[in-house]
Structure 1
Amino acid sequence: MHRTAQRCFLTTSILALSLPSAMAQNAVSTATAADAAAAAAAASAPLPEKPKGWETSIGLTLGLVGGNSESFNVGGTFQTKKEWGKHQLQIGADGAYGNSTTKSVVDGDLIEVEQTSVNNYGAFLQYNYFLTDRWYVGARGEGRHDAIAGVDYRITATANAGYYLIKKSNLTLAVEAGPGYLWEELDGGVYNDYATIRFGDNFEWKFAEKSRLFQTFEFLPQVSDWGNFVMNSSVGVETDIAKGLALQVVFRDFYRSEPAAWSGTDPLIYRDKNDYQLLAGIIYKFQ
């Protein structure tokens, strides 16, 4: 009995001494496993999306002709866009200037006639707020001057509601419409202002890794007379040729259903309703 009691006491003592050590080791192992699992989860979790900065580009077009006739044309563009959260802001500007010199003989004398052939510039600003992934509302302001078309200035301000009919990584098509107001002054001091509704679309197709096709359109009729309207459109293609550099060819069309008249004509002789440009140039993209 005495030996049995001693054995029981010895066994109990060993268990009492070893149990806390085992529990401590188990706790350390559990904590280590938990830390490892947390580290693995953190490593596999997607990194937070980096906020997008401004996407900005500038472009330059240049044309030169010499010899029996001379002409010089230069143009520039500026585009920038920023998206943050549900907000989107776009700003753009463009301008072109050109002159030409022609030679002719009048009464036996060689006469050179120089005249301006291109003189226009414009800018726009548009803000969009996305209600859903496809629906958005916004506002747009735009101004334009075209000396050859007899437009001293044309300013439009519109509110827009838009929807993306197509929204993919390489293909987008958005349509928008909304009420607005138009102010313009034409050559000869003719002033017009009226309520309008703007209809527009924006299309882009990235058909190759470094190439894209783009198109824009807007139609602004007078609310009380839809036969009096302004219509602008553009279509172009762009291809990257180096880091930050691209070649761009774009066709732009400006249509005014009731154009300005030539000053000093009686009866009035009106300018052409349609003006268009075909431009090719270099685009630099800030990255």
Structure 2
Amino acid sequence: MTPAVRLAAALAATGLAALPSAAFAQLPQPVRAMIDAAIATGDEAKVRTVIEIARVTNPGDGAEIDAILAGFEQQQIAVKAAEAAAKTEAIRTAGLFQNWSGKGEFGAFRATGNTSNTGITAGLTAERQGIDWRHRLTGRIDFQRANGVTTREQFLARYEPNFNLSDHVYVYALGQYERDRFQGFSARYAVSGGIGYQVFNANDLKLSVKAGPAYRVTEFTDGRSESRIAGLIGVDFDWNITKRLTLTQDTNAVAETGGSAIAIIDSRNTTLDLVTGLNAAISSKLSARFSYAIEYDSNPPPGAVQTDTLSRVTLIYDF
């Protein structure tokens, strides 16, 4: 939809009409034509520039020029309101598989701790943002195999829906699956639910915290199984240092720009997954990322060490 069409639709919807040309008969016709042409583009910066030029070159017609500007400002308000209403309606009526966006990640890693090797890493994050709801799906694979022997095999899958109670407060649910035989468990499941708070939500700085109870089941590689009540604490942080450089600490963002910090605590074992990342935009869709992860288990299985580190260098594609 062109600016002129949007303007006409907004005016029709709100009952506003363009001021008649006769009302500005004192303005020279070339000046009025120049102003009308700027208004037709819908570009506010361009309109204000032309208005200022007209004001300087026609000082005696200031009142009429001010009236034209006031009318344009009313029209802009109508256009923005109509576009916002249309966007809200499109979100409300969208189907289950509509309005999803995401990021795909692929690259290499270097691991130390329970294993010391280099391999490939891949991740995928998909998100659907609604009026009050947000759904986020995350998947990640780290894999390395040499001379017919697998030396790194880590899988993560996570689903988290959020519901906004207000501009700053939301509730969340979380379901997570992990597998890492080299850390000593063949499967680890966690579910959690709780409350979160959006501390900052500016274009260049976002910070939110969340906490709640959790229930975790761990199936160890030696055949044992444990289930425990736990607590979850998460921190999401995004800082756009420049237009092309972003630093984040994001709880559930495996393929997003940046990293994550999440802790699950129970009476016997504390698990910390901290990922710090730096993203550099290459184009509107492609970015390069360097991240450093620390995975900590206070009470690991026999034969495993408490801390693993993982450095990743990847390319991220937005879709």
Please, what TM-score do these two structures have when normalized by structure 1? 0.72
Corresponding residue for residue 309 of structure 2: 276
Matches within 5 A, 1:1-287: 35-36=17-18, 41-42=74-75, 44-45=77-78, 46=80, 47-49=82-84, 50=87, 53-62=99-108, 73-100=119-146, 115-215=149-249, 216-222=260-266, 225=267, 227-261=268-302, 270-286=303-319
Structure 1: tracts of 5 or more residues without a match:
1-32, 65-70, 102-113, 262-269
- 99 and 128 in structure 1: CA distance in 2 versus 1, 3 angstrom threshold: same
Judge conservation of contact 1:143–1:153 (CA < 8 Å) in 2. Answer: yes
Corresponding residue for residue 33 of structure 2: none
Q: CA RMSD in A?
A: 2.4
One-letter amino acid of the structure 1 residue matched with residue 125 of structure 2 = Q
Please report how far the alpha carbon of residue 144 of structure 1 lies from its aligned counterpart in structure 2 after TM superposition. Answer: 0.4
Corresponding residue for residue 12 of structure 1: none
Greater shift after overlay, 139-148 or 49-58?
49-58
Please report how far the alpha carbon of residue 60 of structure 1 lies from its aligned counterpart in structure 2 after TM superposition. Answer: 0.5
Distance between the aligned counterparts of 1:208 and 1:172, measured in 2?
A: 14
Judge conservation of contact 1:72–1:100 (CA < 8 Å) in 2. Answer: no
Distance between the aligned counterparts of 2:192 and 2:275, measured in 1?
A: 20
Please report how far the alpha carbon of residue 247 of structure 1 lies from its aligned counterpart in structure 2 after TM superposition. Answer: 0.2
Greater shift after overlay, 50-59 or 204-213?
50-59
Please report how far the alpha carbon of residue 34 of structure 1 lies from its aligned counterpart in structure 2 after TM superposition. Answer: 7.5
One-letter amino acid of the structure 2 residue matched with residue 91 of structure 1 = L
Number of residues of Structure 1 aligned to a counterpart in Structure 2: 225
One-letter amino acid of the structure 1 residue matched with residue 133 of structure 2 = H
Distance between the aligned counterparts of 1:242 and 1:136, measured in 2?
A: 33
One-letter amino acid of the structure 2 residue matched with residue 141 of structure 1 = G
One-letter amino acid of the structure 2 residue matched with residue 219 of structure 1 = A
- 35 and 163 in structure 1: CA distance in 2 versus 1, 3 angstrom threshold: closer
Structure 2: tracts of 5 or more residues without a match:
1-14, 21-70, 92-98, 111-116, 250-259
Distance between the aligned counterparts of 2:118 and 2:279, measured in 1?
A: 24
Please report how far the alpha carbon of residue 89 of structure 1 lies from its aligned counterpart in structure 2 after TM superposition. Answer: 1.1
Distance between the aligned counterparts of 1:35 and 1:172, measured in 2?
A: 41
Judge conservation of contact 2:109–2:312 (CA < 8 Å) in 1. Answer: no
Distance between the aligned counterparts of 2:169 and 2:17, measured in 1?
A: 44
Higher relative contact order (CA 8 A, sep 6+): 2
Question: Between Structure 1 and Structure 2, which shows a larger proportion of helix residues?
Answer: 2
Corresponding residue for residue 7 of structure 1: none
Judge conservation of contact 1:140–1:160 (CA < 8 Å) in 2. Answer: no
Judge conservation of contact 2:16–2:75 (CA < 8 Å) in 1. Answer: no
Deviations 1:130-150 (A, max 9, x none): 111110001011110012112
Please, what TM-score do these two structures have when normalized by structure 2? 0.65
SS of 2:83 mapped into structure 1: coil
Question: Between Structure 1 and Structure 2, which shows a larger proportion of strand residues?
Answer: 1
SS of 1:208 mapped into structure 2: coil
One-letter amino acid of the structure 1 residue matched with residue 285 of structure 2 = G
Distance between the aligned counterparts of 1:162 and 1:148, measured in 2?
A: 33
Please report how far the alpha carbon of residue 42 of structure 1 lies from its aligned counterpart in structure 2 after TM superposition. Answer: 4.8
Deviations 1:138-175 (A, max 9, x none): 10111100121121011100002000122211111111
Judge conservation of contact 1:201–1:218 (CA < 8 Å) in 2. Answer: yes
Please report how far the alpha carbon of residue 115 of structure 1 lies from its aligned counterpart in structure 2 after TM superposition. Answer: 3.5
Distance between the aligned counterparts of 2:128 and 2:276, measured in 1?
A: 22
SS of 2:182 mapped into structure 1: coil
Judge conservation of contact 1:122–1:145 (CA < 8 Å) in 2. Answer: yes
One-letter amino acid of the structure 2 residue matched with residue 213 of structure 1 = L
